[in-house]
Structure 1
Amino acid sequence: FESGIILNTETVLALAPDLIISGQSLFTNKGLKSTEFWNQRNIHTFLPENANSPALRNHRESLELEYKFIAGLGMIFNKEEQAGKIIAEMQETVKDVQSRIRGRRKPKVMIVEGLGKNLVAYDDSKLAGDICTRLGAYVPSSPFGTVGLEYLLAEDPDVIFVVKSGGDPEAAAEYFKNIPALQSLKAVRNNRICGIALNYTYNSAIKTGSGIKKMAKCIYPDLFDI
């Protein structure tokens, strides 16, 4: 529909859709109400199970759940064969990475996003962390959704992904590299800070394959050109 439209409950009701596809964060009292609200009005809803808020730990996210969402989209739009090919390509990429790194030491990887004075930590319970784990990395579990710089200093990872929502991920990574308090980190000293767009790490759907390749290349720059 037209750009600039205000997306609220009244507007969507006026559009009379057959189906709403959205992340979980849209279906709140301050957003578009609950999925039950729409289902009671014979309007179907389809939500990706990985779409927790980045800072929340409501349930464990995984690559399998992203495959499931893509397969579901294929069924809805009668594109099951195309969806299957997208999933198979991602699975093949993961398998290829795993075969190439067999026997190597697990690098410690952390994925963070700026949130005011704190950082959102995408740990091993989040989709981005699960992808890095499948790629042979060790992603520390975080007891909290948000952490301070002290947490990074204590973990001292080999590789850090800096997530950017809008704007330039590489500029966000460059800013991160220059934070005075973080100059002692291995990842900073070895220039292993990688910027990555939010749509590769959160609710990524068909962009998941590109995200897998981006992460593999940043974790193993000596081995991969994919």
Structure 2
Amino acid sequence: MKKIISILLTAMMVVGISGCTNKDTVTTPKDGTKVEDSNKKSAHYPVTIKTYNYAKEPVELTFEKAPEKVVAVYQNSIETLLALGLKDKIIATSGLDHEVKDEYKDDFDKLKYYEKLPSKEEVIALQPDFILSWYSLFDEKRFGDVNFWHERNINTYMSQNSGVIKPNTLQNEYDDILNMGKVFDVEDKANDIVNEMKKEIQKSKDFVKGKETVKSVILEVQKNGVYRIYGEDSIGGDIAKEVGADLVAKSNGKIGNEDLVKLNPDVIFTVYYGKEIERDAAVNSILDNPALSSVSAIKSKRVNPIMLSEVYSSGIRTLDGIKTISKGLYPELYENK
């Protein structure tokens, strides 16, 4: 009898121990991925990142968990979240300059899109917990300064190259993507995106070692004979420097035909706003300008269109900007590709 009781007690203890242990176990499915128990708090949070207010002062925000209801405004904000696989987190979008990249169209088509920027009241009604956008969105005529939202437990993030800080740099774009990786606990994906950009930069750096530098200019045609320069303090200029170009127009500002002739670049990059007709006009207005006929880039027809979204608050399109500039400078590097 004592032996039977002893066996029963031992069995009950095993069952009890198993029951307690299962509450916090990590199960491993057949595919090898680990699934944390839903009652167990993620070790990733809290996460603190730096952003800014409308006075361009740094603001630290702490996220106790990943945002669940995100309003994303403007091209880079929307595409970065889609590239990180976060379509299910987005409740509203607005502000596209042109269609999203082909690989994200299916996901984007499922999202709510406001053709006209929603009002502050409309956004409040959506009950978001995170707003991702440009600096300009948070002026008083649009969404108001970030404090308004923070007081309502709605976090915000401004793209750093959207007017928040100077100079505009590649590193700022990298940091924006990496910060979103931290906020949403998808750091591996964010690192993969940034590392691909860095590899493309390095490929051009390796190619130009020991070669003569190529004189280049990045500009936007504002009207006949007037050009806005994207200098060293722009993303495009930073890319050109990083891949070994000689950026002969180094300062942001405006120049005329005579200035461009004196600079005599070997390659010109002309910025356009995303439509095919604008791309062609940006190129032809330079190639067909008789005042520029002596310029080396005109003679060799090395005038390359580059989309604004590749050189301003570029987000994941930073990779496209790197490839556009590298290919324009070193076409032989991209032969048969």
Calculate the TM-score normalised by the size of structure 1: 0.89
- Return the offset for 1:167: 1.3
In structure 1, which of residues 16, 23, 28 is the aligned counterpart of residue 134 of structure 2? 23
Q: What code does the residue aligned with 1:69 have? A: D
Which residue pairs with 2:273 in the alignment? 165
Which residue pairs with 2:221 in the alignment? 114
- Return the offset for 1:171: 4.1
- Return the offset for 1:93: 1.3
Q: Which has the higher strand share?
A: 2
Q: What code does the residue aligned with 2:188 have? A: E
State the aligned residue count: 222
CA offsets 1:104-144 (integer angstroms, 9 cap, x no match): 11112111113346322110111110001001002245555
* Ranges in structure 2 where 5+ consecutive residues have no aligned partner: 1-111
Which residue pairs with 2:67 in the alignment? none
Mapped to 1, the partners of 2:194 and 2:168 lie a distance apart of 17
Mapped to 2, the partners of 1:127 and 1:6 lie a distance apart of 26
Mapped to 2, the partners of 1:146 and 1:38 lie a distance apart of 38
Q: Secondary structure at the match of 1:41?
A: coil
Q: Secondary structure at the match of 2:247?
A: coil
Q: What code does the residue aligned with 2:197 have? A: M
In structure 1, which of residues 183, 206, 217 is the aligned counterpart of residue 316 of structure 2? 206
Alignment map for 1:135-174 (pairs within 5 Å):
135-140=243-248, 142-168=250-276, 169-174=279-284
In structure 2, which of residues 151, 159, 166 is the aligned counterpart of residue 59 of structure 1? 166
Mapped to 2, the partners of 1:182 and 1:141 lie a distance apart of 16
Q: What code does the residue aligned with 2:291 have? A: A
Q: What code does the residue aligned with 2:295 have? A: L
Which residue pairs with 1:32 in the alignment? 143
Q: Is the 8 A contact 2:231 2:251 kept in 1?
A: no
Structure number with greater CO (CA < 8 Å, separation at least 6) is 1
Mapped to 2, the partners of 1:222 and 1:145 lie a distance apart of 31
Give the direction of change, closer, same or farther, for the CA distance of 1:212–1:86 in structure 2 (3 Å limit).
same
Q: What code does the residue aligned with 1:132 have? A: A
Which residue pairs with 1:50 in the alignment? 161
CA offsets 1:34-70 (integer angstroms, 9 cap, x no match): 22332233221111211239xxxx6111111111111
Which residue pairs with 2:326 in the alignment? 216
Q: Secondary structure at the match of 2:156?
A: strand
Q: Is the 8 A contact 1:125 1:141 kept in 2?
A: no
Q: Secondary structure at the match of 2:131?
A: strand
Give the direction of change, closer, same or farther, for the CA distance of 1:27–1:210 in structure 2 (3 Å limit).
same
Mapped to 2, the partners of 1:203 and 1:24 lie a distance apart of 10
Q: Secondary structure at the match of 2:163?
A: coil
Tell which deviates more after alignment, 148-157 or 213-222: 148-157
Which residue pairs with 2:239 in the alignment? 131
Mapped to 1, the partners of 2:220 and 2:166 lie a distance apart of 20
Calculate the TM-score normalised by the size of structure 2: 0.61
Mapped to 2, the partners of 1:71 and 1:6 lie a distance apart of 27
CA offsets 1:22-43 (integer angstroms, 9 cap, x no match): 1122222333222233223322
- Return the offset for 1:192: 0.9
Give the direction of change, closer, same or farther, for the CA distance of 1:223–1:143 in structure 2 (3 Å limit).
closer
CA offsets 1:182-221 (integer angstroms, 9 cap, x no match): 2221111111100011111111111111221121111111
Larger radius of gyration: 2
Give the direction of change, closer, same or farther, for the CA distance of 1:145–1:43 in structure 2 (3 Å limit).
farther
Tell which deviates more after alignment, 70-79 or 194-203: 70-79
Q: Secondary structure at the match of 1:113?
A: strand
* Ranges in structure 1 where 5+ consecutive residues have no aligned partner: none
